[in-house]
Amino acid sequence: MKRQMRRWSLGLLSLALCLVTSGCWSAYEIQQVDYAKAIGIEYKDGLYHMYVQTMDFASVAKSESSAKTADTPPVWVGHAAGKTLNLAVNELFRSAQLHIAWGHVTAIVMDESVLTSNRIKDVFDMLGRFPESRYTTWVYGTREPLEDILSATSIYNMSPLDSILHNPLPTFLEESLFPPVLSFKLISTHNDASTTTYLPSISLNKDYWKQNKKEHELFVIEGAFFERTGDNFEFLPRSKLPGYHWLLKDMRRAPLMIENEGTIYGVLSVGLPNLKIKPVVKGNEVHFNIDAKYLTALYEYLTPISYDEMVQYSEKTLRDQILQTYREGLRRGVDVYGLQEKLYRKNPGLWRKLSNNGSKMILTEDSIQNLNIKITIPYTGKFQRRV
């Protein structure tokens, strides 16, 4: 009798469990979901402005299949404001017609107003607490209207996901001027007083490409924001950063014009850097020795010149560009190459003393004591170099 009652009890329990777990009651059909793919954040007049780029499932699937159609995929941009970022998001929910899925966000764009008002920590405090947010989203700064940035479409009527905003690596591998930044990297550098936080600046350009003779705006990286020592961010355009990429360890390829006294001899493709930056401490004075070696390829040869002269002119141009960028950063209060971190890693006590725990710049125009550049040109393309 007891065995039979036990069987009945187990049977009833199993039936109850089946009823409870018979379906996913909180699930949504994919066609009834707005997929947030990018977030834009602005701070203006004491309010946080939240912009959200959403796409339907068809637009997301088009990127996966790399399909091209005659119709431009629809891009919706929502906007709401609030005294805090969370209140701005909740204000946006009031007009959302569908459930918004935040787990697919691949890009965060912060307006210059956020970067220059020391609001970046507030932004990532809210985003970091949200359970659907990821630390592997691409992060940008911008000086253009966020609505324009998030409304831009891609080339060939492809999905907006096939663009620099959502996938910056292909462009960076072609020309390694401004490396893309993931959110976890941005957070780690911003929380470390010894490092210089760097953020690429994204914008729209309608001069490079046209569709049937009609202008079409496409993304381009126009420069970068750098964290000032003990202050907010400073924007430096591309024209002021001619040598920034030469001291990037992840640089893969960048052009270098061979020029001397107005004569252009050719263009090199520079890559594969081997960098060594060492702080030299003498008492309370700090200088830096930089050794940089590069492998290059000659892809354009316009005027005959000897190999030694080609190397000599190239090394001089590269050295001048590095120093020009370094001095421009100093004028803006920015340690562009992150030299102060090298001192912190070697002698943190001296760094704290000289920089007042990161609130003061310790660099001067003479801080780079030696800058040794070595260029090798082993490849000249399909043609041999004419001497």
The pLDDT tens digits for 130-142 are 888 889 999 999 9
The pLDDT tens digits for 284-325 are 889 999 999 999 999 999 999 999 999 999 999 999 999 999
Q: Which residue has the tokens 């309010």?
A: 47
- Cα pseudo-dihedral 39, 172, 252, 377, rounded to 10: -160
261 half-sphere exposure, CB direction, 13 A CA radius: 1
Confidence band for 382, pLDDT divided at 50, 70 and 90:
confident
> Parallel, antiparallel, or unpaired: how do β-strands 368-379 and 285-301 relate?
parallel
- Max CA-CA distance within the chain? 106
Query: Cα separation of 80 and 68, whole Å?
Result: 33
State the chain's mean pLDDT as an integer.
Answer: 89
> Parallel, antiparallel, or unpaired: how do β-strands 138-142 and 107-111 relate?
parallel
Backbone φ and ψ for 370, nearest 5 degrees, come out as -135, 135
Query: Cα separation of 338 and 196, whole Å?
Result: 6
CA 114 → CA 165, 189, 230, 274, 355, distances in Å?
19, 17, 16, 36, 26
Query: Cα separation of 248 and 242, whole Å?
Result: 13
Q: Rounded mean pLDDT of 359-368? A: 93
* pTM higher than the cut 0.95: no
CA proximity to 317, closest of 268, 249, 252:
268
Amino acid identity at 288: F
The pLDDT tens digits for 222-269 are 999 999 987 789 999 999 999 999 999 999 999 999 999 999 999 999
State the Rg of the chain over Cα: 27
pLDDT at 13: 65
pLDDT at 387: 42
pLDDT at 323: 98
Query: Cα separation of 333 and 130, whole Å?
Result: 34
Amino acid identity at 160: P
pLDDT at 16: 64
Confidence band for 381, pLDDT divided at 50, 70 and 90:
confident
CA proximity to 352, closest of 287, 289, 284:
284
Q: How many C-beta atoms lie closer than 10 Å to residue 140's C-beta? A: 26
Q: Rounded mean pLDDT of 108-116? A: 96
Whether pLDDT at 174 is above 80: yes
Mean pLDDT is lowest, of 3-12, 61-70, 175-184, 271-280, for: 61-70
Length of the chain in residues, anyone?
387
- Cα pseudo-dihedral 257, 260, 262, 266, rounded to 10: -30
Whether pLDDT at 334 is above 90: yes
Tell which wins on pLDDT, 13 or 126.
126
Tell which wins on pLDDT, 370 or 215.
370
Amino acid identity at 335: D
pLDDT at 74: 85
Query: Cα separation of 362 and 350, whole Å?
Result: 11
Amino acid identity at 193: A
The pLDDT tens digits for 271-295 are 999 999 999 998 888 999 999 999 9
Whether pLDDT at 19 is above 60: no
Q: Which two tokens stand for residue 169?
A: 């690596």
Mean pLDDT is lowest, of 12-26, 215-229, 366-380, for: 12-26
Q: What percent of the chain has pLDDT over 70?
A: 87
Query: Cα separation of 185 and 124, whole Å?
Result: 12
CA 385 → CA 142, 313, 320, 379, distances in Å?
43, 16, 26, 9
Q: What is the DSSP letter of 244?
A: G
Q: Which two tokens stand for residue 292?
A: 């940089």
Confidence band for 24, pLDDT divided at 50, 70 and 90:
low
